[in-house]
A and B are shown apart, each in its own frame.
Chain A
Amino acid sequence: MSEEILNINELHTHFFTDNGEIPAVDGVSISVNKGEVVGIVGESGCGKSVTSLSIMQLVPSPPGKIVSGSIEFKGENLVRSSKKRMKQIRGNEISMIFQEPMTSLDPLFTIGNQLREAIRLHQNVSKKEAIRKSIEMLKLVGIPRAEEVIDEYPHQLSGGMRQRVMIAIAMACDPEILIADEPTTALDVTIQAQILDLMKRLNEEKETAIVLITHDLGVVAEICDRVVVMYAGQVVEEGTTREILKDPQHPYSKGLIRSLPKIHERDQKLYSIPGTVPKPKMGMVGCRFKDRCEFAYDRCFEENPALYSIEGNRRSRCFLSDDPEKVVTENAEANIGS
């Protein structure tokens, strides 16, 4: 396969709260290749956003802290990078867009000002040149009347337009990776499709790798090459989009796919996975999905399942896929101090 540019290895990001230590991200390993679109899927509270903020080193601290693991961007470990180096990387080599386009832009500055800021933080260009580049970026993301929009304020634009502006800001310095944290969740369906098309187009034209965080398998099917399914702070399944959608291995992925509405079965009651994601805490024993899993048996309550390799790059954290020969990583739970 092509060149790997991001390699997250055994990442542990914990939150130190009054109620104790919470392992929001508990041993996550994900790799992203150049120009690839990787989806990270899971319910709310399973650690997707914290994983993405960890990459940017923007986990709110305190209470959050990367306890162990590494995040290698082109061979450079971001966990150990200096603040100064991270400033150079953020917005320039790795950039990020967020779920809430309505609140993600500063309401008191014009679109042009905020775009220009992103450009001038990383490129030594004159103000005039930055303005020209800003207009070009706005046109690239499909904003009509770009020359006027740069003098407008965020509240004068619609949600879809603001998300386009966010993408323009994120793409202004031609990053190698764009992390999109639920970029379409707050938008209505037609706008969602436009934003996804735009991201796909930028991915193809500029060869920007995209890490797309979402809970929407429809979005995944639309643009992702590969999917990582997360549950309660861990990766539970990994594979190509086709593999995961056609033939999910982990009971959680199966449940997610079953709960998608199907057009030819409209009379049936919509399936939902019973229960909710357990609150991650230190020293959990057994599979984290056991209480909601229809296949759970004794072993699931006693041992922590490892991530088992199935074939090629497919992996599943379930004893149903257990094959002692193919253990990829032992569950690191035991190694971490409580």
Chain B
Amino acid sequence: MFAYTTRRLLMLIPVLIGMTLITFSIVHLIPGNPAQVILGETATATAIEDLEESMGLNEPYFVQYSIYITDLLQGDLGTSLRSKTAISTEIWPYVAATFELTIFAMLFAVIVGVNAGIISAWKQNSWFDFLAMLFALIGVSMPVFWLALMEQWVFAQQLDWFPSSGRQNNRDPMQPITHFYVLDSLIHLDFARTITNLKHLVLPSIALGTIPMAIIARMTRSSMLEVMKSDYIRTVRAKGSGQFLVIYKHALKNALIPVLTVIGLQTGVLLGGAILTETIFSWPGIGRYVYEAINYRDYPVIQSGILVIAFIFVMINLIVDLLYKYIDPRIKY
């Protein structure tokens, strides 16, 4: 396990370097000159030259890149053009907001998806199986924005069960500590607020988690059906074990390996693809942050936002790979 982990961590290095190379190039792929873009079309030639000088843009690329990397390693993501503050301090609340939403969306997707998949496989061709797979099909095909709007209309507008937007009651904001609001409210021992914060999470989590839930359910079902036919499952039955042990111990663990891949990939997709949901539910997450930066042509923020999302994606894949090894002793790198 230790050797595997070490090898897997070493493999991260080229990936991370590749990532920074790409985000670094973004600025240089902008048509025209970055200094020109920052200062706008009406800037004078001397102003542009001065800015290039101060930003180090007249240095060779590899010098610029090494400065960029050195800054990154020190936790310096640059300065936002719009707010003029350091991105590294500004970005965290957005990252935390997205993380919180993603965690709840994935909890919903995994708990519902895996169990629906198991029961569908267990009772193959039953009415439950039929209904669950029909819902899964609708789930994967439904546009997220439409689902989100429908949720708001039904559960916020008509029934008034859940708030339609935001992370908390904005008339009564709390003092954030970690910026994970549910966690913060627990730290404050303010449980009424915890309930409110959880209520804010329900609709966006379902909107965001529906597609992964449907994919996970279908994957779990087919993987379970495959495993249930295997020789070792027959052995377990021949030992005299009941259906529950067969399914939840042996079949599930074996079926989980491909499902885990899907869970990992989907988590990454959610992190990067939460923009729609975050916009509709006014959720101040990283997707919204980058989206607004794009509107303002705030290149350092776009660059950093992409870097952070990519970094999280890579980390999730690392976790998935480590879980593989934990589940399947045969895996070698």
Contact = CB atoms under 8 A, between A and B. Distances in A.
B240 A98 contact: no
Given A90-B239, A103-B232, A106-B254, 20 more contacts: A60-B229, A87-B241, A88-B240, A91-B239, A91-B240, A98-B231, A98-B234, A98-B238, A103-B230, A104-B231, A107-B254, A108-B250, A108-B253, A108-B327, A117-B239, A117-B241, A118-B239, A155-B330, A166-B235, A170-B238
B328 interface: yes
Given A100-B231, A103-B231, A108-B328, A90 B254 contact: no
Contacts of A92: 240
Contacts of B119: none
Nearest to B232: A106
B237 interface: yes
Residue of A89, A106, A166 with highest tally of chain B CB at under 10 A: A106
A255 B114 CA distance: 54
Interface of B: 229-242, 245, 250, 253-254, 327-330
B263 to A, nearest CB: 17
B241 A107 contact: no
B223 to A, nearest CB: 13
12 contacts: A87-B242, A88-B240, A92-B240, A95-B238, A98-B231, A98-B234, A100-B231, A106-B236, A106-B250, A107-B254, A107-B328, A117-B239
B324 to A, nearest CB: 11
A121 B240 contact: yes
A95 B60 CA distance: 75
**8 shortest A-B CB distances, which residue pairs?**
A91-B240, A90-B240, A91-B239, A103-B231, A106-B232, A96-B238, A118-B239, A153-B329
Interface in A107-152: 107-109, 117-118, 121-122
B328 A95 contact: no
Contacts of B241: 87, 91, 117, 121
B239 A98 contact: no
A104 B245 CA distance: 17
A216 B53 CA distance: 86
B237 A107 contact: no
Given A103-B231, A106-B250, A90 B330 contact: no
A175 B236 CA distance: 16
A58 B330 CA distance: 29
Given A92-B240, A121-B241, A169-B239, A105 B234 contact: no
Interface residues of A, number: 30
A46 interface: no
A107 B237 CA distance: 16
Residue of B233, B240, B245, B328 with highest tally of chain A CB at under 10 A: B240
Contact of A107 (B232, B236, B240, B245): B232
A93 to B, nearest CB: 9
Residue of B233, B236, B327 with highest tally of chain A CB at under 10 A: B236
Contact of B329 (A95, A155, A170): A155
Interface string A67-105: 000000000000000000011111110011010100111
Residue of B234, B245, B253 with highest tally of chain A CB at under 10 A: B234
A56 B238 CA distance: 7
A98 to B, nearest CB: 6
B78 to A, nearest CB: 46
Contacts of A106: 232-233, 235-236, 250, 254
Contacts of A95: 238-239
A91 B238 contact: yes
Nearest to B243: A83
A153 B325 CA distance: 13
A291 B250 CA distance: 46
A58 B240 CA distance: 10
Contacts of B327: 108
A90 B237 contact: yes
Nearest to B239: A91
A96 B237 CA distance: 10
B258 to A, nearest CB: 13
Contacts of B235: 98, 104-106, 166, 169
A58 B236 CA distance: 11
Nearest to B254: A108
B140 to A, nearest CB: 28
B329 A121 contact: no
